Amino acid sequence: MSDVNDSKSHPEFRSEADEWALLSPAERWIESCGLWSVYLAWGGSLDPEPDSHSPFDCEELQRAIPGHGRSGVHLVRRGGV
Amino acid sequence: MGGQACILYGAAEFSRDLDLAIATDPENAKAVARALEELRAEQIYVPGFDIAALERGHACHFRCHASGAENLRIDLMAKLRGCPDFDELWNRRTTVELPEIGSIDVIALPDLIQAKKTQRDKDWSMIRRLVETHHLQFCNNPNRDQIIFWFRECRTPSLLVELARTYPDDCRGPLGQRGLLQAAHEGDFAALESVLYQEEQQERERDRSYWKPLRAELRQWRRERPPRT
């Protein structure tokens, strides 16, 4: 097999993306559910991001409220822009 | 068929909604309507749950309010541009066994990739990652179908060159059709990038054309809709 493939078969050469790809679908599902929980706990919104390329780019779909319906994170200081 | 499918196929993605392709026969339409009711799904955009609209290519958007699924967004579609009809998608599906959930059916990877050939930037990086991931998962012992799939869908110049060197007999047909064969053999990355860019632009234009009448219909529905109270 190729050099590229050989290097990726060794754990020390794998990136985080490769490690993720080599998990089973069930393992990725569990990890993803964990991310989902953290995201919601931090006040993440389940609404779509603005995407000017999307046929559904519309303010009605972008309420930008926290996923669990309450404010989880308050912005105390914003730097730069 | 959306971000959740990408996760199951190995792309590192964080998806905040659930995209479902559904059959539109009357029996299934009733079952979907019942499920939406159980989930206390609120219509959040036009159209509502409308089978005729779904069959024309529209999506229906909902936000759930049932306990355990609060604020979960669900998008329904029945027709995906460039993909076969639902029955064929269903025949080609992947079934995945998930802990505490059981088996779920996921759109086949080649169909997912076709469905991602849209006008949106983010879908194109996802296609590249999905193919790279599939290659990583199967590169040690691929079958011919997998090799041909890589040649048809790979969008990574370095990987195309690598694949053309590793599988010279399998690359001619699919890479020739894409106009990538010579550049892949010569390792001409600039030429590969150029052809891949043109390929992407053509698909984006097809997607824009496909959505043009649907967008007009969406605008019309939004104008006709009574104001929210």
Which of B97, B98, B140 is opposite residue A9, by nearest beta carbon? B140
Residue B75, number of CB atoms within 10 A of its CB:
20
B8 and A29 within 8 Å at the Cβ level: the answer is yes
**pLDDT (tens digit per residue) in B66-98:** 998 988 999 999 999 999 999 999 999 999 999
**ipTM computed for the complex:** 0.77
Q: Which two tokens stand for residue B104?
A: 């779920």
What is the torsional sign of CA B134, B135, B136, B142? Answer: positive
Q: Best residue in B56, B58, B98, B160 to probe A by mutation, most A CBs within 10 Å?
A: B98
Domain ranges of chain A: 3-61
Residue of chain B nearest A4, judged by CA positions: B162
**pLDDT (tens digit per residue) in B198-229:** 999 999 999 999 999 999 999 999 888 776 65
pLDDT per residue, tens digit, chain A (81 aa), is 344 444 455 666 678 888 888 999 999 989 988 888 888 888 788 888 778 888 887 776 666 555 555 555 666 777 877
Q: Give pLDDT, residue A15.
A: 83
Contact B210, B81 (CB under 8 A): yes
Touching check for A38 and chain B: CB below 8 Å?
A: no
Which of A29, A47, A51 is opposite residue B120, by nearest beta carbon? A51
Round to whole Å and give the CA distance between B130 and B152: 13
> Closest Cα partner for B107 from B125, B90, B122?
B90
Residue of chain A nearest B163, judged by CA positions: A2
Does the bond joining B47 to the residue before it have cis omega, within 30 degrees of 0? yes
* Strand B17-21 to B42-43 pairing: unpaired
Question: Which has more pLDDT, B9 or A15?
Answer: B9
Q: Give pLDDT, residue A2.
A: 42
Domain ranges of chain B: 3-108, 121-208
Touching check for A73 and chain B: CB below 8 Å?
A: no
Mean pLDDT, residues B16-36: 96
Q: Which two tokens stand for residue A32?
A: 């993803």
Touching check for A72 and chain B: CB below 8 Å?
A: no
Q: Give pLDDT, residue B22.
A: 98
A23 and B10 within 8 Å at the Cβ level: the answer is yes
Q: Give pLDDT, residue B199.
A: 97
Which of B7, B140, B211 is opposite residue A55, by nearest beta carbon? B211
Partners of residue B21 on adjacent β-strands? B77
pLDDT over 50 at B152, yes or no: yes
Round to whole Å and give the CA distance between B146 and B155: 15
Average pLDDT for chain B: 94
Q: Largest Cα–Cα distance of chain B, in whole Å? A: 65
Residues 6+ apart with CB under 8 A from A66: A40, A43, A44, A45, A72, A73
Supply the DSSP symbol for B225: S
Size of interface A-B (CB pairs under 8 A): 103
What Å distances lie between residue B184 and B150, B177, B180, CA to CA? Answer: 13, 13, 6
B215 and A55 within 8 Å at the Cβ level: the answer is yes
pLDDT category at B52 given cuts 50, 70, 90 is very high
Q: Give pLDDT, residue A4.
A: 45
Residue of chain A nearest B119, judged by CA positions: A53
Touching check for A27 and chain B: CB below 8 Å?
A: no
Round to whole Å and give the CA distance between B137 and B227: 51
Q: Give pLDDT, residue B23.
A: 98
Q: What three-state secondary structure class fits B205?
A: helix
Q: Give pLDDT, residue A1.
A: 38
pLDDT over 60 at B141, yes or no: yes
Q: Give pLDDT, residue A66.
A: 57
pLDDT category at B56 given cuts 50, 70, 90 is very high
pLDDT over 90 at B189, yes or no: yes
Question: Which has more pLDDT, B192 or A75?
Answer: B192
Partners of residue A45 on adjacent β-strands? A66
pLDDT category at B194 given cuts 50, 70, 90 is very high
DSSP secondary structure string for all residues of B132-198 = HHHHHHHTTS--HHHHHHHHHH---HHHHHHHHHH-HHHHHHHHHHHT-HHHHHHT-HHHHHHHHHH
